[in-house]
Amino acid sequence: AAYETTLHATGQYPEWWTGYRFDHPTEGWACGTTSETTRDIVQRELLGPEDAIGTGMIPGDLIVHTTARPHGAPGSIETISVRHVSGGTSKVALKSYEQGRRSFEGTEKDWIWCDEEPPEPCYTEMKLRTMTTRGIIYTTFTPLQGMSEVVKSFLEPENEKAGDYMYYVQAGWDHAPHLDEEEKKALLATTPLYQHRARTLGEPTLGVGAIYPIAEDD
């Protein structure tokens, strides 16, 4: 998702890219759960660590400037201006869900990246922000909140038409061959059973009281 965000901000799409493309400088949001996680995860992926800005996914020579967030976690960046291949400048704003639904009102956005599952009111507001831009929203998260409204909208669309505009990829540990087998065993041994399928397969967790099927002869 950090790579896709970089493509939309820079316009430097590789030839093999078959996903969504913009042919102009864009404005978008990169969002996290709190100001701290937005700084530590989203900001770091895009820019690099605080003492090495420009070593993240966005090439350093394409970062025009950044502005610090006046309030929130120390070291937080609020906006990133990125040089676009057209000669213009794209704007990436970093936001958190803790700011609430109202902070997502009013403005047009070409794209929105949600890192970790957003609350449904925030997510609905985000969708409205892409209405006039024919924009896109992409989310990356482990479904630890179970069959929430956001998860359900992807897995069980309310109608066939809704399904035409949504797509999801379910990925698990087996899709990440760089993970160490012994480390996976250690993590599973120390992870609550009810979270195993969500953590390893990307399936929505059912909660602490989940009932697991057993064979009749058990």
Q: Please state, rounded to an integer, the average pLDDT across all residues of the chain.
A: 91
| Percentage of residues of the chain with pLDDT beyond 70 | 94
37-46, 69-78, 102-111: the lowest-pLDDT one: 69-78
**Using an 8 Å Cβ cutoff, are 32 and 42 in contact?**
yes
d(CA 31, CA 20): 19
d(CA 137, CA 29): 9
pLDDT of res. 211: 43
What's the helix, strand, coil split of the chain in %, to 5?
Answer: 35, 15, 50
pLDDT above 90: residue 85: yes
Closest CA to 76 of 102, 115, 122, 44: 44
Burial class (CB in 10 A: 0-12, 13-18, 19+), 6: buried
- Could you read off the pLDDT of 115-159 as tens digits, one per residue? 999 999 999 999 999 999 999 999 999 888 888 999 999 988 888
- Residue 205 pairs in a beta bridge with none
d(CA 180, CA 176): 10
pLDDT of res. 162: 85
pLDDT of res. 213: 43
pLDDT above 60: residue 210: no
Give the model's confidence band at 206: pLDDT under 50 very low, under 70 low, under 90 confident, else very high. low
pLDDT of res. 164: 85
Give the model's confidence band at 207: pLDDT under 50 very low, under 70 low, under 90 confident, else very high. low
**Using an 8 Å Cβ cutoff, are 29 and 103 in contact?**
no
